[in-house]
Homo-oligomer: A and B are copies of this chain.
């Protein structure tokens, strides 16, 4: 039985999206998986933008339902945290009880990135919790992103592979993806 793996991540937004999705799919095939990528299917036409977005959601959710596992690219996207669509998909697969694996191309962890967001200025409240100038607490769990994401993966026996890609290859460097694939292959194949 082929093991189908859903490749979640913000690659769909790249100017070379098709190429990147194809390269990741080829690597997944080489590792022994049957890859499923968002954007692989034709999207049914729609009368409104919202309906069009809903049609894409429907196709992607169906792909996740058919997949046996997921590798999610949690590289921070347009800001300090993972892409929200990828975060949704990771939660979706965790709820379905499917094996989950993830990677990020940014070595600085969630805490470090939030600290930078606050210009590395923070205070500690009476419970020892770090807070930014706006009073918001700064999660400090040695994790790559919000604890729901990283914790959801670790608790299911998955891994979060952390790499340190050059700034100009943040969404194209595949070092961490390959390592993630190898780990997933050892667990699932």
Q: Which of B56, B87, B114, B137 meets A91, CB within 8 Å?
A: B87
Which residues of chain B come closer than 8 Å to A155, judged between CB atoms?
54, 57-58
- Chain B residues within 8 Å of A17, by CB: 137
Contact with B along A132-171 (1 / 0, CB 8 A): 0001110111110111111110110000000000000000
Query: Whole-angstrom distance from the CB of A44 to the nearest CB of chain B?
Result: 13
Q: Does A68 contact B (CB under 8 A)?
A: no
Size bin of chain A's contact surface: 35 or more
Q: Does A26 contact B (CB under 8 A)?
A: no
Partner of A88, one of B13, B58, B60, B88: B88
Contact of A146 among B49, B88, B137 (CB under 8 A): B88
> Which residue on chain B has the smallest CB distance to residue A54?
B151
* A154 CB contacts on chain B under 8 angstroms: 50, 54
Given A95-B93, A137-B13, A84 contacting B52 (CB threshold 8 A):
no
Residues of B within 8 A of A96 (CB): 95
- Residue A85 contacts which of B136, B137, B147 (CB distance < 8 angstroms)? B147
Q: How many angstroms from the CA of A54 to the CA of B85 in the assembled complex? A: 22
Q: If A60-B148, A141-B53 touch, does A82 touch B80 (CB 8 Å cutoff)?
A: no
